[in-house]
Amino acid sequence: MAAADLKGVITASITPFAPDFSVDIARLAAHSAKLLEAGGSFVSTFGTTGEGASLSTREKLAALKALKAAGADMSRQIPGVMTPTLDDAAEMLVGIAETGCRAALVLPPYYYGTSEAGIAGWYDALIERTRSATDIDILLYNIPQLSRIRFTADLVKSILAQHGSRIVGIKDSTGDVDNGVMLARTFPELSVFTGDDRVLPTLLANGGAGMIGGMPNVFTRDLVALYNNPQNADLLAKQTTRILAVDKGGSLVALKAALAHYSGDDNLARVLPPLKSLEGQGLADLLASFAQSGFSAAA
């Protein structure tokens, strides 16, 4: 792989918020440190699970600077760039580099949708605009269910033809095992990650690098164990049960609610509008499913 260190279990971190909806730096720094201490390879802030599309570039860059000032290991951060605006994407990419982050996970421009040539052209423009300021590594973010853009093999080849030295990986959040395997086999020079625990064993068997996902926010140790022993059918079954429960509970709001419960810190459950925190029966059902899978606060 072009960047051999980019592998393992990378947590797409939740973002804790204060009551005024500002980023709670102290809680984010503490959570990031715990994820790394539990065996995670890197932390990816301000992606989908981190509500990155609901935060401004100004807010995210200020948070990254504050994380650095708080002593966070920025070399183990891979923040998300999630904006359809070229100018904001360029500012975010440069800021990520300036704070010493390992790489950036860059979502394609959503909303309008366009041709593959148009998407390749956007990455051309982003890299050209930031060329004099940074040569930071870039991972492509494939989540067509939200971005409306799918990274086909042809699109990836087009981007690599122009910027092969800058593109080091892909996060495939389609949840489609065949798609992940296709990307890993077609692009062995890239670190190909899945966003879905259930795909991880098969992806690893076909040259994949690991996972970048939200589930390690709660289950870091189990997912690191699965990464290290992908043939462990019991662990895979547990994670399958858990991810189905999280999806039913609203994905990132379910993860935040679970973290709040297990840590005894209700602040961690707070989400930005228009999202609503998971409470009541929904939370009870989620925790019951986790308990049935053998998980507890001490796990």
- C-beta atoms surrounding 33 within 10 Å: 16
Residue 45 marked ligand-binding: no
User: Which amino acid would we find at residue 221?
Assistant: R
Q: Cα–Cα distance between 201 and 177 in angstroms, integer?
A: 10
Cα–Cα distance for residue pair 244/237, rounded to 1 Å: 11
The torsion defined by the Cα of 264, 29, 236 and 293, in degrees rounded to 10, comes to 0
49 is in an annotated binding site: yes
Do residues 190 and 138 touch, judged by C-beta distance below 8 A? no
- Active-site choice (60, 171, 238, 256): 171
- Identify the bridge partners of residue 106 per DSSP, sorted by sequence position: 81, 140
Q: φ, ψ for residue 187 (rounded to 5)?
A: -125, 70
Given 123, 141, 227, 238, which residue is catalytic?
Answer: 141
Cross-strand partners of 211: 9, 194
Report DSSP letters for 74-131, one per residue: GGGB--EE--S-HHHHHHHHHHHHHTT-SEEEEPPP-SS---HHHHHHHHHHHHHHHT
Our CA angle for 31, 36, 40, nearest 5°, is 120
Q: Is 7 in the active site? A: no
Q: Is 112 a catalytic residue?
A: no
What the block records as the tokens of 73 is 């290991």
Residues annotated as catalytic (active site), given as ranges: 141, 171
Q: Which residues are annotated as a binding site for pyruvate?
A: 49, 212
Q: Which residues are annotated as a binding site?
A: 49, 212
